[in-house]
Amino acid sequence: MTKYISTRGDNRERGAAQAIIQGLAPDKGLFVPAAVPKLECGFAGGAGVSYREVAHSVMGAFLSDFSQEELRACIDGAYDEKFDSPDIAPIVKTERAHFLELYHGRTAAFKDMALSILPYLLKTAMQKENESRKVVILTATSGDTGKAALEGFADVDGTEIFVFYPKDGVSEVQERQMVTQVGGNTHVYSINGNFDDAQTAVKSIFNDRAYGEALEAGGYRLSSANSINIGRLVPQVAYYCFAYARLVERGEIKQGDSINIAVPTGNFGNILAAWYAKEAGLPVARLICASNENRVLTDFMASGVYDANRQFHITSSPSMDILISSNLERLLWHLSGGDSEEIAGYMKRLDAERRYEVSDRVRSGMKEFMWGGCADMASAHDAIGKLWHGERYLMDTHTAVAYSVYQDYREQTGDSTPTVIASTASAYKFADKVAESIGLGKEPNGFAYIDALNKATGTPVPEGLRGLDKKEIRHRGTVSAPEMPDAIRVALSR
């Protein structure tokens, strides 16, 4: 049975249900599997294998204290007609790569893949653990997590969800998606700051024992929908296994052949899920970690020094505008051989100095499978234009960063291994930048760009983005990061 322990020294083993409910470990660490389970058939493929079948195999290995029936109910409830593709996560071939489209859910971003099932997993976990308190979900977002979490948890019994996003750090479409969210248990606030400010404040709330005890006295307990929650991360492992199964089925590769996976990366969760898939048995040769101008991860992989003391860039790929990549802590723990003292030391220096240097063991371990690169906005926008005009494939700004970095990787290494690129959002979520990249003219706002892009390309607008500018704005609150705890307290008292 797969058990979970903290990255920072709390070695008490917990089942997946307990780890999902708690979100963050009591010692401020992140929950990790004490041993990564090995998958027997999660990527074997077979004619017509469905996404739900692969997900059941993968999640069954990682969430082994859930019964088969419980998992089946969660998976069937999550991956249904709310996705506009029967494949859930279709894979599309271009001349040089295979794009794994992770944006066919309600909010048109890859976060739907995990946040569609997290409410089911959390509710089941609460029943299994006899948890009667109402769960307060705290989420910091750089754009896409917020809407996907709101959509998943809206009006779910026994929960209240709070989302905090940087006021000037998301696209016009992303912001409108969040502030128009319906649901009596949904609470959305912009903050005067960037994503790192919001994420740091959320972690501080989790680590404030007195604040947590006060909430518990009122019948609440805290949890998270960010990828710091293992229940958010595990479902992401499944789609890499599904992509492999589809490539085998189509004859693009043979069973046992290796692939590369390229991921546009900010908080490191999506690429960490690919690493877990690799460790579980998926034949992955290289993980390509793609950053934008906020290239802290690229520099870290080159030097072994993680240094967040640098200029913060607001870019056209806002979900990657992050300097503190929380999920990296999990990978470092595994590469250190589970040395919690070492990891706690890194994180203590990060908190105090915004900088740390890893051991030779960790650095050399990472170099065995990871390649890091970055692409600026000009390179990403150029890639969007060239791929559209050359092959009529339309990608968003985040996917374009990964594609551009992959092109650099291929030119520098000569590696032609079949490569899956995680396509993390619909082009329509960033229609203004995509429209400009393919040569369209200026429009008055983000919603006009959606119409113009649709007219010019004939590609379908995701249902969740249609008529977005006409929806009622329901959430107008703005707070500073230090005011977030009071905002939660006041909202819960109403």
Separation between Cα atoms, residue 77 and residue 132, nearest integer Å? 23
CB 282 within 8 A of CB 43: yes
Separation between Cα atoms, residue 336 and residue 327, nearest integer Å? 15
Separation between Cα atoms, residue 448 and residue 466, nearest integer Å? 11
Q: How far is CA 125 from CA 12, 129, 473, in A?
A: 18, 6, 33
CB 27 within 8 A of CB 8: yes
pLDDT of residue 42: 54
Identify which of 207, 220, 198 has the alpha carbon closest to the alpha carbon of residue 8.
207
CB 343 within 8 A of CB 336: yes
Q: How far is CA 453 from CA 106, 442, 466, in A?
A: 20, 11, 13
> Cβ atoms within 10 A of the Cβ of 256, count?
7
CB 428 within 8 A of CB 462: yes
Separation between Cα atoms, residue 317 and residue 323, nearest integer Å? 14
Separation between Cα atoms, residue 305 and residue 308, nearest integer Å? 10
Q: How far is CA 240 from CA 33, 95, 291, 372, 455, in A?
A: 18, 20, 20, 19, 33
* Domains of the chain (ranges, CATH numbers): 91-104+233-454 (3.40.50.1100)
**Which residue matches tokens 């995701």?**
462
pLDDT of residue 142: 83
pLDDT of residue 48: 81
Sorted by sequence, the CB contacts under 8 Å of residue 121 that are 6+ apart come out as: 20, 63, 66, 74, 231, 235
CA torsion sign for 264, 268, 270, 275 is positive
**Which residue matches tokens 């791929």?**
387
pLDDT of residue 144: 83
DSSP 380-438: HHHHHHHHHHHH-----HHHHHHHHHHHHHHHHH-----EEEEE-B-GGGGHHHHHHHT
Residue ranges in the chain whose pLDDT is less than 50: none
Q: What's the angle, vertex CA 93, arms to CA 91 and CA 98, rounded to 5?
A: 65
Identify which of 438, 476, 479 has the alpha carbon closest to the alpha carbon of residue 455.
438
pLDDT of residue 43: 60
CB 481 within 8 A of CB 200: yes
pLDDT of residue 47: 65
> Residue 31 forms beta bridges with which residues?
6
Phi first, then psi, for residue 74 (nearest 5°) are -65, -45
- Helix, strand, coil percentages (3-state) for the chain, rounded to 5, are 45, 15, 40
Separation between Cα atoms, residue 114 and residue 92, nearest integer Å? 21
pTM for this one?
A: 0.94
> Cβ atoms within 10 A of the Cβ of 472, count?
7
pLDDT of residue 494: 87
Q: Judging by beta carbons within 10 Å of its beta carbon (0-12, 13-18, 19+), is residue 104 exposed, middle or buried?
A: buried
Following CA atoms 384, 385, 391, 397 in sequence, which dihedral angle do they give, to the nearest 10 degrees? 10
Helix (H) or strand (E) holding 16: helix 16-22
**Which residue matches tokens 């030779």?**
360
CB 113 within 8 A of CB 102: yes
CB 260 within 8 A of CB 284: yes
Angle between helices 340-353 and 328-335 (to 10 degrees): 140
pLDDT of residue 143: 77
CB 227 within 8 A of CB 142: no
Angle between helices 195-207 and 209-217 (to 10 degrees): 70
